[in-house]
């Protein structure tokens, strides 16, 4: 009799443990699957703090090192992102004040542009010849070491953006006829203005292309404004020719050749 009762008690205890285990598993399972969904939405893994940085890499090599191609969609930077980039540049160049940023003089918005990613659009009709923004507030990197140090100091997704936005230029060395290759970067929404790729589609510019700006195409510290080159309608995207201000592959090679 005693053995039979003990056996029944053990059976009841086992049944009770199984029931509790099923309940706990049922509560835990949804949280586990939710975390999996969140992990799947992360485009680029956060780099290990101890991960070595490629200080002697050029732009293409850095894009590979950062795995920029893994970013499926690029968010539109907000004000905190621009402040972070401004402060990071100031730290790299040894300035106590944040690097100044550009200013738009016309109403605009940043949104997705079909087939291009992000773009900058007019929100009101604008007449030809209207001042859109100044082209003298870009951050300047004098050498590859400072540029790569800047890229290392910012979040990976912003570093991948910078590698798309930055362009090579030449700075005239004071009191000489020599020029020095530098890299420039807009620290505001103008960085997302897309390339028109043709004269016909270009609607904003400085007029420097083809010998303008005192016959000096690439002068990094010359004060010049970007203006509308034709009447624009509300909702129209601002498009400019990158060749108007970028010194091209030769300048990139000269810049990285200093390493």
Tokens coding 54: 């490629």
Contact 121, 108 (CB under 8 A): yes
Read off the pTM.
0.72
pLDDT at 214 over 50: no
> What span, in angstroms and rounded, lies between the C-alpha atoms of 39 and 26?
21
Compute the average pLDDT of residues 209-219. 42
Residue 162 CB: number of other CB atoms within 10 A?
21
> At 203, is the secondary structure helix, strand, or coil?
coil
What pLDDT digit, counting tens, does each position of 44-85 carry? 444 444 456 777 788 889 999 899 999 888 889 999 999 999
More confident residue, 44 or 250: 250
> What span, in angstroms and rounded, lies between the C-alpha atoms of 207 and 224?
9
> What span, in angstroms and rounded, lies between the C-alpha atoms of 151 and 157?
10
pLDDT at 143 over 60: yes
| Residue 226 backbone dihedrals phi, psi, to 5 degrees | -95, 130
What pLDDT digit, counting tens, does each position of 157-196 carry? 999 999 999 999 988 888 887 889 999 999 999 999 999 9
Give 37's contacts (C-beta < 8 A, 6+ positions apart).
none
Tokens coding 242: 């990158």
Fill in the DSSP letter of residue 211. Answer: T
Q: Which of 68, 40, 254, 236 is nearest to 151 (CA)?
A: 68
Place 259 in a pLDDT band, splitting at 50, 70 and 90: low
Q: CA angle 234-239-243, nearest 5°?
A: 165
């Amino acid at each position: 009799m005693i053995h039979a009762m003990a056996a029944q008690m053990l059976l009841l205890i086992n049944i009770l443990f199984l029931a509790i285990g099923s309940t706990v598993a049922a509560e835990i399972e949804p949280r586990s699957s939710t975390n999996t969904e969140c992990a799947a939405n992360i485009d680029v893994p956060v780099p290990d703090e101890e991960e070595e940085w490629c200080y002697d890499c050029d732009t293409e090599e850095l894009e590979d090192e950062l795995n920029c191609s893994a970013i499926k969609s690029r968010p539109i930077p907000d004000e905190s992102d621009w402040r972070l980039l401004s402060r990071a540049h100031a730290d790299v160049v040894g300035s106590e004040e944040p690097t100044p940023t550009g200013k738009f003089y016309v109403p605009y918005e940043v949104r997705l542009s079909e087939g291009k990613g992000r773009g900058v659009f007019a929100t009101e009709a604008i007449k030809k010849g209207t001042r859109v923004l100044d082209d003298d507030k870009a951050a300047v990197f004098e050498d590859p070491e400072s540029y790569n140090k800047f890229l290392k100091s910012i979040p990976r997704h912003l570093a991948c953006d910078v590698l798309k936005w930055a362009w090579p230029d030449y700075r005239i060395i004071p009191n000489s006829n020599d020029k020095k290759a530098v890299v420039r970067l807009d620290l505001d929404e103008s960085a997302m203005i897309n390339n028109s790729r043709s004269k016909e589609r270009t609607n904003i510019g400085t007029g420097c292309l083809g010998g303008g700006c005192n016959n000096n195409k690439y002068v990094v510290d010359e004060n010049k404004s970007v203006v509308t080159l034709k009447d624009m309608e509300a909702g129209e995207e601002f498009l400019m020719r990158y060749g108007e201000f970028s010194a091209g592959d030769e300048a990139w090679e000269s810049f990285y050749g200093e390493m």
